[in-house]
Structure formats: C-alpha cells, structure tokens
Amino acid sequence: MIVKLGLQTSGYRIPVIILPCQGRDTGSIPVTRSKNIVDRIFYMTEVNVRDANVNDAEGIATVHVKMWQQAYRGQIPDSFLDSMSVEDRTEGWKKELEHPYENTFAYVADIDNVVAGWVTGGVNRDSDLHETSIAELYGIYVLPGYTNLGIGSKLMEKLFQNLKDSGYKQATLWVLDTNEKTRKWYESKGWRIEGKTKSEKRDGFDLNEVRYIRDL
Ligand SMILES: CC(C)(COP(=O)(O)OP(=O)(O)OC[C@H]1O[C@@H](n2cnc3c(N)ncnc32)[C@H](O)[C@@H]1OP(=O)(O)O)[C@@H](O)C(=O)NCCC(=O)NCCS
C-alpha cells in the first residue's frame, strides 16, 4: 500500500510525501482527517468495501444516526432526530446482521477499521412490483466528514455487482421527497423517478418518499 501525505488548498490536493507501507492496496481514497490547521493535511488511504458482519453493528449504527441527524435536519422534526440513539440502533443492527433475511446484502466501507459508510439491498419489499428481476437498494449512508470522496459510489457499485450476479436486472429505492441533495446524487448515478410515491406515519410526522428506478 502507498500512503500519500499532502496539502489541500482551494479544492486542490497536492501530494507532498509518498510513503510505501505494508498492507494490501484495495483502492485508495483521499481522506481529510482533521478539522483545524491540520485540516489541510490529508492522506490517501485504503478503503476496503467488504461484507458487513455483526462486529460492524456499532459502526453502522453510528453512521446511520450521525448521517440522519445531519442530512435530515430541517426535513424531519428535531425532536425525532435528537432522540435517535447509537446504542438502540446498534442492538437493531446486531439482530439484522446475526439473522439476515434471505437474498439481502449488507456492505461496509472500512477505512482503518472505521465504518465510513454502508449500503444494504436485495429482494424488493414493495408488494406492487411483481417483476422478480427488480431488486431494491434499502439504504446507503456515508459518515459525515467522509462524503464526496467516492465512498458512496464504491458501495453502490459493490451492491450492484452482487445484485447482477444474483440475476437482477433493475433496482428501485425510496428517498425522502425533500432530500434534494441526495436525489441529485442518485440522478447523477443514473437513477430516474419511477412515479410511485408513499407517505408513512412516524411519531407525529409524515415521511413522504419518492420511488426511483435504475437498470443494473
Ligand atoms: C448520498 C451519499 C450516500 C453519497 O455518498 P458519497 O460518498 O458522498 O458520494 P460519492 O463521493 O461517491 O459521490 C461522488 C460523485 O458524486 C458527485 N456528487 C456528490 N454530491 C452530488 C450531488 N448532490 N449532486 C450531483 N452530484 C453529486 C460528486 O461530484 C462525484 O462525482 P464524480 O464521481 O463524477 O467525481 C452520502 O452523501 C450520504 O450519506 N448522504 C446522506 C444520506 C442520504 O441521503 N442517504 C440516502 C438515503 S435514501
């Protein structure tokens, strides 16, 4: 593996030191590590997109809660977001990872043993879709501070590869109708509005979602 230290200035990243290190090179990615002056120092490090296991439950829950609290602020009531707990979600994820449903997949992006993002998907859960060749992306989240580095794209590619290998031809997903930023990201990745919408009642508020579809 090669570790590159560098400086970030006005959006440009200039490598200044390149160090060969021990380890497997499974694809490197620029990661900015700190929030102050050292903000400008980054290094290229390894991102390992791999199957999620039960030991990842806390890391997945952390990404889940932190990204919900950041991305959905202003779209979902603060009272709901602030009540989300990593401990509760960890328990939920442990159960899901210990007893996964048939034909479902879960992958994490592991950077130096930190779960920097995850994706789940598999058999379609929508009862109105009778076509068995249509899978579903259930959720994709990247840890705040690690976005826009290509991690979400790598996770989506990994899921698509496995869905294709399982014989699926297309996939759908549900996204909050107000989540403009992520909708644009999906559209840039070839997803298109499918037409169906749904509204789910949650503790005192409605979750309004739009369905997207994509060929695999
Ligand atoms: C959506 C999300 C998963 C994307 O992951 P990510 O790691 O930030 O995305 P990537 O870095 O792989 O995206 C890279 C590419 O998308 C582009 N991009 C990023 N945000 C974009 C946007 N809002 N609109 C259009 N393009 C965008 C980048 O310019 C980059 O393009 P390139 O590949 O041509 O260089 C992540 O930002 C996230 O967790 N968002 C909040 C949670 C969420 O809404 N999840 C979905 C729930 S349904």
Q: Does ligand 1 lie within 6 Å of residue 184's CB atom?
A: yes
CATH topology (fold) of 47-215? Aminopeptidase (3.40.630)
pLDDT tens digits, residue range 57-68?
A: 999 999 999 999
pLDDT of 179: 96
| Mean per-residue pLDDT, 23-30 | 48
Query: Residue 131 has what pLDDT?
Result: 86
- Nearest CA-CA partner of 60 in 88, 83, 33, 80: 88
Question: What does pTM read for this prediction?
Answer: 0.83
Closest ligand 1 atom, residue 181 Cα: 23
Neighbours of 109 (CB within 10 A): 26
C-alpha 32/C-alpha 13 separation (Å) is 10
Q: Tell me how far apart the alpha carbons of residues 128 and 134 are, in angstroms, rounded to a whole number.
A: 11
Residues with Cβ within 8 Å of 21's Cβ and at least 6 positions away in sequence, in order, are 1, 2, 3
Cβ contacts of 45 within 8 Å, gap of 6 or more: 3, 28, 29, 31, 111, 112
Q: Which of 136, 167, 144, 139 is nearest to 155 (CA)?
A: 139
For ligand 1, atom 33, name the residue with the nearest CA.
150
Give the pLDDT confidence of 89-140 residue by residue, as tens digits: 999 999 999 998 888 999 999 988 899 999 999 999 999 998 899 999 999 9
Beta carbons of 68 and 81 less than 8 angstroms apart: yes
Q: How confident is the model at residue 31 (pLDDT cuts 50, 70, 90)?
A: low
Report the alpha-carbon distance of residue 105 to residue 164 in Å, rounded. 12
SS3 letters across 106-151? EEEEEECCEEEEEEEEEECCCCCCCCCCEEEEEEEEECCCCCCCCH
Ligand 1 neighbourhood includes 111 CB (under 6 angstroms): no
Sequence-distant (6+) residues with CB within 8 A of 12 are none
Whose CA is closest to atom 26 on ligand 1?
185
Q: Is 182 in the pocket of ligand 1 (CB under 6 A)?
A: yes
Asked whether residue 30 carries a pLDDT value surpassing 80, the answer given is no
- Residue ranges of the chain that CATH labels 3.40.630.30: 47-215
Average pLDDT over residues 67-72: 95
39 or 153: which carries more pLDDT confidence? 153
Residue 118 Cα to ligand 1 middle (Å): 13
Arithmetic mean of pLDDT over the chain: 85
Measured CA angle at 55 (ends 52, 56), to 5 deg:
50
Q: Which residue has the higher pLDDT, 73 or 45?
A: 73
